[in-house]
Structure 1
Amino acid sequence: IGEQVAVFRGHDGKAYVVDAYCPHLGANLAVGGRVFGNCIECPFHGWQFQGDNGVCVKIPYAEKVPDFASVRSWPSCEVNKQILVWFHCDGEGPQWIVPEQPEITNDEWVYRGRTEHFINAHIQEIPENAADIAHLSHLHTPSMLSGADLRYTNSKIWEFVQHDWKVDWKPESEPNKHCSQMFVKHALRVFGCHWPLLDVSVVARQVGPGIVFLLFDQTFLGRGVIMHCVTPVEPLLQCVTHTIFYQSNIPPVVPKFILKVECIQFERDVMIWNNKKYVSKPLLVKEDSAIQKHRRWFSQFYSENSPRLQYQRDKLDF
């Protein structure tokens, strides 16, 4: 969203999020700022701002703090060992919550790694993949040995290992209309033979426009979750992170391998996103019906005042 924020933990243990720049002379509170109680102190002149409401409570050299001295305080929550910030272009407050994954909270599942990608695309393009069932059999059938470069994914050298996918996507109903689910059955074929012991069931639950829980369940490799988060950085630039939590009694090499496989497969999509354009009225066949359903579902996250790219069709004004 292009906003700069300072995140700090007060002495009460709660995480607070405020605008990064001091309204006095613009110093960055997140760079050199110090925490006093539940306030953050500006590194430039020592102004102190409360985390819960952003109000300035101290100016060390002033007789009186002006009533209007404050920074913006952002609605936030700390869940699943992540700090999440609510943004609404009309300034409305939080309208739904992010569900807690109890296995993370009680440390049954522990942190096992994280990846980060920057993608040149609109935020809607990324979750739309969940409803684009046809692309899985074309883009993601080649094994991880084929890598992420699309010029080599269909190389005959690595054809002895292939992924099979069975996928279904559907939106949830009230009171969770802001959620949708993709059910994935993944199988592995080696030299054309199906290895049932390597079958994996994945439930990908989308919560709002930017968070997905990828829940893994495998007979021998155990259970865990990859949290997929999309953060808009600027128009048509998204930061996507994958954070994996896995059973604490499973050797770390297992979830790290799963994250590596996910990363390679995801980078195939990244190459597409970085070079495609958005088609508002796509040419679809009946097997693509889930894409239109997904677009109707995703439209709930826009308002009349949602930022839009403005352009001139017949001029050189960009």
Structure 2
Amino acid sequence: MVERSAPLPYPSGWFCVGRLRELAPGRLRTVRLMGEDVVLYRTRRGAVRAVGPHCPHLGAHFGAGGTVRGEELVCPFHGFAFGLDGSCTGSPDGVRFRGGLAGRHLRERDGMLFVWAGAPDGGDPSWELPPAVGVRPLAWWSGEEPTHPQEVMENIVDFRHVRVLHGLDTREAAPPEVAGPLFTVHQRTTARFPGLGPVSLEQPVTLAGLGLMHLEVELPQVGGTLWLWVLPTPLAPWRTRVCVAAAATVPVPGGRSVRAVDRAASWAALRATVRIIGQDRVVLAHKRYLAQPRLVPGERSIGLFRRWAGQFYPGFHSEAVPGFRFEASPESGVMD
């Protein structure tokens, strides 16, 4: 892997830390986010919380022996218990103290859990995730990649690489639309999904920050609908867990949607998407992030994407952080 002389810092935003189904009532688990542990737990009644990993009493790690007792999180070291609001509610000898857990903002969307990470100090969310789609994924994959969330998301506007590396007929149908933390790409792709045959993907792709990419596609060939999510979560500098989720509804004779058919179609779409990510992997592992790329005609959307992405690095000047000042080669015809 090449050394990167100007890596991007951690971005702020909402990042997926897993699925609700992975967190049964009364259980907890530790996840990694931007070089730190976050403890997720779910109470017996089903409330889900995300907190900093260490007990404010003497610093024990909740993920190393901590338990969920009813609606409380209990420290493994001295037995101090904490309520849903993070306050200390008691201990084996009845002692309590002021102060509470370092809570993290958490949202659930379509069975997926997102935690807010606000560079550089956590902070409160400056924007909200889009509303739930109303469909839970039927297929799920995750893998660690030697890259940055911005690099993962930038691929959606890099149409040239889609044709060259992936062999897909992908075109930009209209210029991207920017609305605050949302970036919508209009593309037209003809792809072949196993079991579905040639599928024309002509719906917009929406990015919500640098942690959520969502695509909803009507499938006229079979009269169904496909939903895809790509969810990059930064674990460490230039180390990202990429999750892919898929759901599909495919009517069978009689107009009904059978769960087994939907699941098979979802897995087919997911495998096709993961195969594309695998083709990117070798390039991402060895490429260098260029703050001032030499873009050519037809790549204007890459510059627009990078300027949009600059908002997710609070506390840094656009001129001071690599990648936020866009300059094109004079011969490219791409303007600032």
> TM-score normalised to the size of structure 2?
0.73
SS at match of 1:264: helix
1:255 and 1:82 mapped to 2: Cα distance? Answer: 16
Q: Any conservation in 1 of the 2:190–2:198 contact (CA below 8 Å)? A: no
Query: CA offset at residue 301 of structure 1?
Result: 0.7
2:199 and 2:103 mapped to 1: Cα distance? Answer: 48
Q: 1:16 to 1:220 in 2, by over 3 A?
A: same
The amino acid of 1:167's aligned partner reads: E
SS at match of 1:103: coil
Q: Any conservation in 2 of the 1:117–1:241 contact (CA below 8 Å)? A: yes
Q: Any conservation in 2 of the 1:170–1:180 contact (CA below 8 Å)? A: no
Q: Any conservation in 2 of the 1:169–1:181 contact (CA below 8 Å)? A: no
Partner of 1:145: none
Partner of 2:88: 56
SS at match of 1:296: helix
2:289 to 274, 278, 281: 278
1:164 to 146, 169, 191: 169
Higher relative contact order, structure no. (Cα contacts within 8 Å, ≥ 6 residues apart): 2
Q: Any conservation in 2 of the 1:130–1:169 contact (CA below 8 Å)? A: no
Query: CA offset at residue 177 of structure 1?
Result: 1.5
2:236 to 227, 234, 237: 234
Partner of 1:205: 206
1:65 to 96, 100, 109: 96
1:269 to 275, 280, 283: 280
Deviates more, 1:92-101 or 1:288-297: 92-101
The amino acid of 1:297's aligned partner reads: W
Note the 1:173-184 alignment, pairs <5 A. Answer: 173=178, 176-184=179-187
Deviates more, 1:261-270 or 1:38-47: 38-47
2:177 and 2:201 mapped to 1: Cα distance? Answer: 23
Query: CA offset at residue 185 of structure 1?
Result: 1.9
Note the 1:290-301 alignment, pairs <5 A. Answer: 290-301=301-312
Partner of 2:24: none
2:301 and 2:215 mapped to 1: Cα distance? Answer: 19
Q: 1:140 to 1:169 in 2, by over 3 A?
A: farther
Query: CA offset at residue 4 of structure 1?
Result: 0.9
Q: Could you list the runs of 5+ residues in structure 1 that have no partner in the other structure?
A: 105-109, 142-162, 190-194, 311-318
The amino acid of 2:82's aligned partner reads: F
Query: CA offset at residue 43 of structure 1?
Result: 2.4
Partner of 1:86: 116
Q: Any conservation in 2 of the 1:197–1:219 contact (CA below 8 Å)? A: no
SS at match of 2:206: strand
1:139 and 1:78 mapped to 2: Cα distance? Answer: 35
Query: CA offset at residue 262 of structure 1?
Result: 0.8
Note the 1:67-146 alignment, pairs <5 A. Answer: 67-68=98-99, 70-89=100-119, 90-104=121-135, 110-141=136-167
Q: 1:87 to 1:196 in 2, by over 3 A?
A: closer
1:7 and 1:181 mapped to 2: Cα distance? Answer: 31
Q: Any conservation in 1 of the 2:116–2:122 contact (CA below 8 Å)? A: no
Partner of 1:254: 265
Query: CA offset at residue 31 of structure 1?
Result: 4.1
Query: CA offset at residue 180 of structure 1?
Result: 0.9
Q: 1:119 to 1:197 in 2, by over 3 A?
A: closer
Query: CA offset at residue 285 of structure 1?
Result: 1.5
Q: 1:238 to 1:201 in 2, by over 3 A?
A: same
Query: CA offset at residue 228 of structure 1?
Result: 1.1
Q: Any conservation in 2 of the 1:17–1:51 contact (CA below 8 Å)? A: no
Q: 1:39 to 1:132 in 2, by over 3 A?
A: same
> TM-score normalised to the size of structure 1?
0.77
1:239 and 1:10 mapped to 2: Cα distance? Answer: 26
Deviates more, 1:206-215 or 1:24-33: 24-33
Which one has a bigger Cα radius of gyration? 1
1:185 to 184, 188, 193: 188
Sequence identity percentage: 25
Q: 1:102 to 1:234 in 2, by over 3 A?
A: closer
Query: CA offset at residue 37 of structure 1?
Result: 3.7
Query: Could you say what the CA RMSD is over the residues aligned between the two structures, in angstroms?
Result: 2.7
SS at match of 2:271: helix
SS at match of 1:266: helix
Q: Any conservation in 2 of the 1:18–1:51 contact (CA below 8 Å)? A: no
Query: CA offset at residue 56 of structure 1?
Result: 1.8
The amino acid of 2:88's aligned partner reads: C
